[in-house]
Amino acid sequence: MKEAAKSIKPADGKLAVLLPGMGAVGTTFMAGAMMARKNLGHPVGSLTQLGSIRLGKRTDKKNPRIQDFVPLAKLTDVVFGGWDIFEDDAYEAAKHAGVMKNEHLDLIKDELQTVKPMKGVFYPEYVKRLHGTHIKSEKTKADMVEALRADIRNFIKDNGCSRAVAVWCGSTEVYIPPTDVHASVKTFEAGLLANDPAISNAQMYSWACIKEGVPFANGAPNLAVDHPAVQELAREHSVAISGKDFKTGQTLVKTTLAPMFKARMLGLSGWYSTNILGNRDGEVLDDPDSFKSKEVTKLGVLDYILQKDLYKELYGKLVHKVRIDYYPPRGDDKEGWDNIDLFGWMGYPMQMKINFLCKDSILAAPIVLDLALFMDLAQRAGMRGTQEWLSFYFKSPMTAQDLYPEHDLFIQLMKMKNTLRWMKGEELVTHLGNEYYD
């Protein structure tokens, strides 16, 4: 059944895309988007740039591009900016990250050099392996938030933007579960004034963004926007938030295969995943406290997909292990191995081995672009708080309170496309009547 289309403000003017953290992922995203808008390269992996959406029945043969269906900001209207704790401009940082080749970076060198990071907010206890030098020196955490807010306002003004969106591409912070200070806006603001140690760097960025009406997506596993105080603030200020931890490499594979095993009622006794990674992210994750944040988001997916309690005989004894080893010679070229011990008819055992030689930031960059454009769309459509329809992009999707997250990639894709149809008042595709995923 068709509903009325939602009222969506047009994508007029320039959009500031602000990244806290301009490392491998951040600069690969910027460089690629700059190349794409000059037709110097193809934005492979981006649904907002390449994806289509089916409307009506399959026989209607209506499949517009997503970017022609919903009013997204154009790449040519994007202005890039961000913060980092090192002062390299985006060209230097991209070279240092070593993801894209110099022959590509040199095509857009001048433009990349104009993106100079603003000074970061950095209390080193949350990322122990880095020693930032380009950092703010305000006295309290409340002052830090105010300084970030001033950065946002100045950036928007100086670059003639009509609005902004933020995607956290900063390092993974140590694992800190929410405490009493995260209970409400009031307790959090008191905590900022008192320099409460439970308030991390990422949480100061998200607080500043939301107070400036800037939607915030969290690409790392730390709790930047999933604690009660920040969710209350997002609702109060009518700002869209989403997270957490970009779903790339191994988890992308896992959330595609696990639903297959479950759909066919095949059993699993073990799933061992290990990775070697040599970039700065790998170095940060070498610290056990930062790895703990990653482990939590990586381990959760199978529990939710397999529904152990419902299928005890198939998944009740599953042993699931995840390892990441910092191995500098590989740089950003991550290598992942999965060993899956499964069983079939009459309990007969089988094995599956996967060896994924991926490029971490090449997989993450299109996600940054899509999140920036979809979060801006959500904001203009008046959709505040947690944007669960963007679960497709996250390892550990945030949900409304008391709901469990949906990890199955194809359910996530259906949910995302149906949300776009719903925004435009188009009929939802439910796959009844012999219809399949488009």
Ligand X SMILES: NC(=O)c1ccc[n+]([C@@H]2O[C@H](COP(=O)([O-])OP(=O)(O)OC[C@H]3O[C@@H](n4cnc5c(N)ncnc54)[C@H](O)[C@@H]3O)[C@@H](O)[C@H]2O)c1
Query: By the criterion CB under 6 A, which residues form the site for ligand X?
Result: 20-26, 83-86, 97, 120-122, 127, 130, 169-172, 201, 219-220, 245-246, 248-249, 279-281, 284, 360-361, 363-364
Query: In whole angstroms, how close is the CB of 422 to ligand X at the nearest point?
Result: 28
Reduced to 3 DSSP states, what percent helix, strand and coil does the chain have, rounded to the nearest 5?
45, 20, 35
Kindly tell me which of 124 and 349 has the beta carbon lying closer to ligand X: 124
Query: In whole angstroms, how close is the CB of 346 to ligand X at the nearest point?
Result: 39
Query: In whole angstroms, how close is the CB of 75 to ligand X at the nearest point?
Result: 21
Kindly tell me which of 8 and 252 has the beta carbon lying closer to ligand X: 252
Kindly tell me which of 124 and 344 has the beta carbon lying closer to ligand X: 124
Q: Are 305 and 258 in contact (CB under 8 A)?
A: yes
Q: Is the dihedral of CA 188, 194, 196, 197 positive or negative?
A: positive
Q: Are 367 and 220 in contact (CB under 8 A)?
A: no
Q: Nearest to residue 438, comparing CAs of 170, 51, 136, 1?
A: 51
Residue 166 pairs in a beta bridge with 18, 216
Kindly tell me which of 90 and 314 has the beta carbon lying closer to ligand X: 90
Identify the DSSP state of 107.
Answer: G
Determine the Cα–Cα distance for residues 96 and 93; give it in Å rounded to an integer. 5
Strand, helix or coil for residue 287: coil
Query: In whole angstroms, how close is the CB of 201 to ligand X at the nearest point?
Result: 4
Q: Are 391 and 228 in contact (CB under 8 A)?
A: no
Kindly tell me which of 284 and 420 has the beta carbon lying closer to ligand X: 284
Query: In whole angstroms, how close is the CB of 197 to ligand X at the nearest point?
Result: 15
Residue 129 pairs in a beta bridge with none
Kindly tell me which of 25 and 306 has the beta carbon lying closer to ligand X: 25
Query: In whole angstroms, how close is the CB of 116 to ligand X at the nearest point?
Result: 13
Query: In whole angstroms, how close is the CB of 285 to ligand X at the nearest point?
Result: 7
Report cis status (omega within 30 of 0) of the bond before 317: no
Query: Which residue has the CB atom at the shortest distance from ligand X?
Result: 23
Q: Which residues contact 401 (CB under 8 A, 6 or more apart)?
A: none
Kindly tell me which of 82 and 267 has the beta carbon lying closer to ligand X: 82
Please give the single-letter amino acid code of residue 396.
S
